[in-house]
Chains A and B, each alone.
Chain A
């Protein structure tokens, strides 16, 4: 089976390999802001960080007094805005480090931020005053007539001064701190993505496997259905010629085709008996497959269970006698009422159980059929909640088939109802049979809304306990016997 696997959900390469990493994804903005603030607190020079996409990630702009003063004039404000705009737009250049002068004499440094050898953003430091500027430049004084030279001189003195080397040292330090932040940011970014990706990948694999299992399961189910159909057809086709074989051998024994010698009669009788066995096996198989496919029709009506029991006893009495086993029944007809069921099928249930009981009981032993009314909680149900409501619907008829035979070990109780299961293979030889009886019994009982269980009969023997709902309780029993676990449409 080859199911093409879809490609994995995430590319590890995308997480670490190419240049699509955005500064925004890698840093914690608050942390970045704090870092820049501590930088400003130390050196008094403003810092701003822009991502490649132009996003402002950290801004610690403090307004110098000189700048505030310039901004009080009309032309000064215009020139200031123009400078700030130009700085914001300026690239760090080939070298990754450029100086941008301001008309006040101050300057900005624009530096490239790199991560993993690639530019991811810009660092803007300033404005600060280069040491060589000691008094107001003409460019400042001429910008607006309202600027007073003395005042400008005083405010200029208050601006932070920094040599180029100092700014370089400071920014190098800042950049390496930033690099660490970016690395750990990148790392946790990748980690969280990998978490998601590996979960998704495992899920995808599971889904894949589930789909395969489902497919295999559906195929098996279909095969099972085909097998049941096959069994039903073959059984049916076998039955017709077999009936002829039995019929003709019967006629031969009865002498309808002329006298036979005693030896010939023996032979034909054997043919007749074996044919009978074969027919009952086929009938069992047929029943089983009908029940499995849910096509067994049952005619449900009120049935007096003690009548069914009587019939079973009288049918099997000769067999019991032959084996030296005592067969008896007890039932209080007046208290039992009726159960809802198909009398023919119920007869089949008890014929099977009593046949087994006789078969597995040595001579001198006994087999007893006993019927009584029980409440559902009478058989160990410990939940009596709402009993007032439920009791009326729970009246049950219990039929016990008790023998004093070889017994069934407890560990076999669970499997004894499986088709073809027999307690041990040597008993197959000693007792014959195919192991289909109990599996049919169980299905029949369950399709009557009843249950079957096994109990010990100390000191020796087995009890099969069948419970069936009383008529009023069995109102919901349908007339179609279906496999108890699941129902499927006929055909």
Chain B
């Protein structure tokens, strides 16, 4: 296995891999489409959607984001590469259909963080659970553990009827460790919140283990605001993150360690 975070090109690039996991039709692809829609072109590349059949993901979708550190601490000017450090984030979705189990594992391999996109409809409860077990099994096969993996949960499709209520979600969130976000991905609600929530927990863990901030020449707390700026967002990051339910255990644990 490679070390989780990838540092490339003479240490001038850091690559992060984030994966949107979840049961079939929960809205993973929709999340990525909305994210693509909500960010500005300068920092994000084209959304790559691989060969779908009836709009279902067959292999994966992938959205690349490229953030440039806004301080130039490295003086070494190498020809052919722009000065300064680059943080490349690739966001993948897996195919949710049960049938694509082996592809899911291929895509999950090497993930630095996972957003689990659940369907809020009460009728989907079991599919959510089954897909989470599938995630756990696949992580285990890849020698990763769900305990160590930065993880956030999104309950999508809040716009529908017959869904788990906000109170129920709050209760569930307070019992679990992971931050929980509510979203309606088709309308673009909660999409940025989930993404920044995931970036937050992933960054905290990797920065702690690899001193990424130092490598990028920024302060640890600067990354999220910097990302928001470069992606052209007007909302401030603290507001985005404050919409999350639960997840406190994980955060205090990270701060204290």
Chain A residues engaging chain B, CB cutoff 8 angstroms:
5, 7-8, 10-13, 16-19, 91-94, 112, 116-117, 119, 183, 186-187, 190-191, 194-195, 197-198, 201-202, 204-205
Cβ-defined contact, B109 with A202, below 8 A: no
| A8 & B15 in contact (Cβ 8 Å cutoff) | no
CA of A134 to CA of B50 in the docked complex: distance in angstroms? 53
Contact (Cβ within 8 A) A198 B103: yes
Closest A-B pairs by Cβ, 8 of them = A201-B102, A194-B59, A198-B103, A202-B102, A117-B66, A13-B110, A5-B141, A191-B51
Q: Determine whether the beta carbon of A187 is less than 8 Å from that of B102.
A: no
In the complex, A12 Cα to B104 Cα: how many Å?
A: 10
Give Cα distance in the complex from A273 to B84, angstroms: 101
- Smallest CB separation, B90 vs chain A (Å): 6
Least Cβ distance of B160 to chain A in Å?
32
Q: Counting CB contacts under 8 A, is B48 at the interface?
A: yes
Q: How far is the CB of A68 from chain B (nearest CB, A)?
A: 35
Q: Which residues in A have their C-beta under 8 angstroms from that of B3? A: none
Report if A12-B79 is in contact (Cβ < 8 Å); known contacts: A116-B45, A190-B48.
no
Let me know if B60 is at the binding interface, CB within 8 A. yes
Cα A334 to Cα B141 with chains together (Å): 75
Contact (Cβ within 8 A) A190 B50 = yes
Q: A12 with B9: in contact, given A117-B66, A190-B48 (CB under 8 Å)?
A: no
A17 vs B65: C-alpha distance in the bound complex, in angstroms? 11
Q: Which residues of A contact B82 (CB under 8 A)?
A: 94
Chain A residues with CB under 8 Å of B98's CB are none
Closest CB-CB distance, A207 to chain B, in whole Å? 12
Partner of B48, one of A91, A94, A187, A195: A187
| A424 nearest CB across to chain B (Å) | 42
B50 closest partner in A (C-beta): A191
Q: Which residues of B contact A (CB under 8 A)?
A: 1, 6, 8-9, 15, 17, 45-46, 48, 50-51, 59-60, 62, 64, 66, 77, 79-82, 86, 88, 90, 92, 100-103, 105-107, 109-110, 141-142
Q: A93-B79, A94-B77 are in contact. Are A19 and B8 (CB under 8 A)?
A: yes
How far is A91 from B78 in the complex, measured between Cα atoms in Å?
12
B103→A194 contact, CB < 8 A = yes
Q: How far is the CA of A287 from the CA of B6 in the complex (A)?
A: 69
The answer to whether residues A12 and B92 also contact, given A18-B6, A198-B102, A201-B102 and a CB cut-off of 8 A, is yes
Q: Are A198 and B15 CB-contacts (below 8 A) given A16-B90, A94-B77?
A: no
Q: In the complex, A7→B138 CA distance in Å?
A: 12
A to B CB contacts below 8 Å, 7 in the list: A8-B102, A8-B109, A12-B110, A17-B90, A190-B48, A191-B51, A191-B59
Q: Which residues of B contact A18 (CB under 8 A)?
A: 6, 8, 15
Q: Which of A12, A19, A186, A195 has the most CB of B within 10 A?
A: A12
Q: Is the CB of B48 within 8 A of A16?
A: yes
Contacts of B64 in A (CB 8 A): 16, 116
Using Cβ atoms and an 8 Å threshold, which residues of chain A touch B15?
17-18
Residues on A with beta carbons closer than 8 Å to the beta carbon of B50: 187, 190-191, 194
Please give me the residue from chain A that is nearest to B48 by CB atom.
A187
Question: How far is it, in angstroms, between the C-alpha of A191 and the C-alpha of B53 when the chains are bound?
Answer: 13
CA gap between A151 and B64 in the complex, in Å: 55
Output the residue of A17, A93, A94, A202 with the most chain B CB within 10 A: A17
If A12-B60, A112-B80 are given as contacts, then 12 extra A-B residue pairs at C-beta distance below 8 Å, sorted by A number, are A7-B1, A8-B105, A18-B15, A116-B45, A117-B45, A117-B66, A187-B50, A191-B50, A194-B59, A198-B100, A198-B106, A201-B105
